[in-house]
Amino acid sequence: MNEVGKNLKRIRLLKNLSLSDAGKLLNMSAPAVAKYENGQINPNSQKLIEFADAYNVNVIEFLKSYNVPQMKFTSFRKRKRLKGQNLELLKEIIQNEVAKYLEVIEINSFNKNNIKLKKYKCNSLEEAEESALKFRNDINFSILQPISDLINTLENLGILIIQIDNLDNRFNDFDGLSEFVNDVPIIVLLNGITDGARQRFTIAHELGHLLLNITNENLDEEKLCNRFASSFLMPKEAVINEFGFSRNNISFYELTAFKSEYKVSIAATLYRLRDLNIISEYTYKNLSIKINKFFGKKSEPIYIKPEESYQFKKIVHKLETDSIISINKACEYLGITVNEYNNENNNYGY
């Protein structure tokens, strides 16, 4: 499949069209559309214009070309409902976004040697706990210090954070992805997540996939990464400092205050308190029932604003400002028009 064919297929999937639907718009058979997408037929300029008109996009969308890297998708977390065309489209979008980011940082003279990550041996929940503390120590983060801006912290270590738009809620069942691509650590998550506490735990979980060296294949990697995330966001000493060594009950105010400070959900906090044996299984269940009764299972008090990555956009603006890339190339990277790009600068008084 050539690049034009890949783009034809990607845009068709973005428009949520089947081969048959596309064929009707283009006055050709579904197999004919598939041949264009598979590279068996190379479209001439007139045919590209016909595709562009049918899909309501600019012809340039079919001519974009990035050096798409090979990805393993071994830490691709999704629920069973995400399958078929939506799954295929999501993976292609992720590969394209990764390719763009790698291309941009290469232009910006990104040095892989500056990445401050190492692997931590982990073959038990206890070692997952210890690995999170070792990592905090290695990046000079106090175990009593909440991480106020998780995305910025990880990006400063050389981890690329990519946020994928949730097209018409088609990717709701995607939880996250982490992988080393061309030796660069990457975390992918959905953009527009309304629950910032959930978003941060997802990022910390994916960080676990990047850092934990799990050699025992019989272990549940997801549970180990969950323990890593809990320990990283809520270190044991910090939790004991906040709640004490042993409690028979926890006040509602304590839980909401801790959520505000550490930006974690109350549900995750209660789970952590139980894991550390600060509260018993009975107290954990009792408190969980009370919280769910008042607020429901999917709703909690205290809103935590989701974090946003600005690094990719900042690099693109920098490259364009320094005349390293053209404004049209910058717009291609960002997926916006020239007017939208100029407005981003004008909004800040330029």
**What are the sequence ranges of the domains in the chain?**
3-65, 107-295, 311-346
Q: Does residue 346 carry a pLDDT above 70? A: no
The confidence score (pLDDT) of residue 66 equals: 76
CATH classification number, 3-65, choose in 3.40.640.10, 3.30.1490.20, 1.10.260.40, 3.40.50.300: 1.10.260.40
The confidence score (pLDDT) of residue 217 equals: 86
- 3-state class (DSSP) for residue 185: strand
Q: Does residue 2 carry a pLDDT above 90? A: no
The candidate with the shortest Cα–Cα distance to 200, out of 309, 281, 56, 334, is 309
- 3-state class (DSSP) for residue 24: helix
Q: Does residue 1 carry a pLDDT above 80? A: no
Query: To 10 degrees, the CA torsion angle through 145, 146, 150, 152?
Result: -50
Tokens representing 221 are: 């990697």
User: Do 185 and 160 form a contact (C-beta atoms < 8 A)?
Assistant: yes
Q: How confident is the model at residue 348 (pLDDT cuts 50, 70, 90)?
A: low
- 3-state class (DSSP) for residue 161: strand
Task: Give the angle subtended at the CA of 171 by the CAs of 128 and 94, to the nearest 5°.
Answer: 70
Q: Does residue 240 carry a pLDDT above 70? A: yes
Task: Tell me the average pLDDT of the chain.
Answer: 91
The confidence score (pLDDT) of residue 342 equals: 87
What does the alpha-carbon distance between residue 274 and residue 276 come to, in Å, rounded to a whole number? 5
Phi, psi of 107 (to 5 degrees): -60, -35
Per DSSP bridges, beta strands 184-190 and 160-164 are parallel
The confidence score (pLDDT) of residue 255 equals: 96
What does the alpha-carbon distance between residue 169 and residue 174 come to, in Å, rounded to a whole number? 10
Average confidence (pLDDT) over 9-20 = 87
β partners of residue 163? 189
Q: What confidence tens digit (pLDDT) does each residue in 150-200 have?
A: 999 999 999 999 999 998 889 999 999 999 999 999 999 999 888 999 999
Q: Does residue 213 carry a pLDDT above 60? A: yes
Average confidence (pLDDT) over 79-93 = 90
Helix, strand, coil distribution of the chain in percent, nearest 5: 55, 10, 35
Q: Does residue 349 carry a pLDDT above 70? A: no
- Cα 6 from chain centroid (whole Å): 23
List, in sequence order, the alpha helices (H) in 234-299.
Answer: 236-243, 252-262, 266-275, 281-295
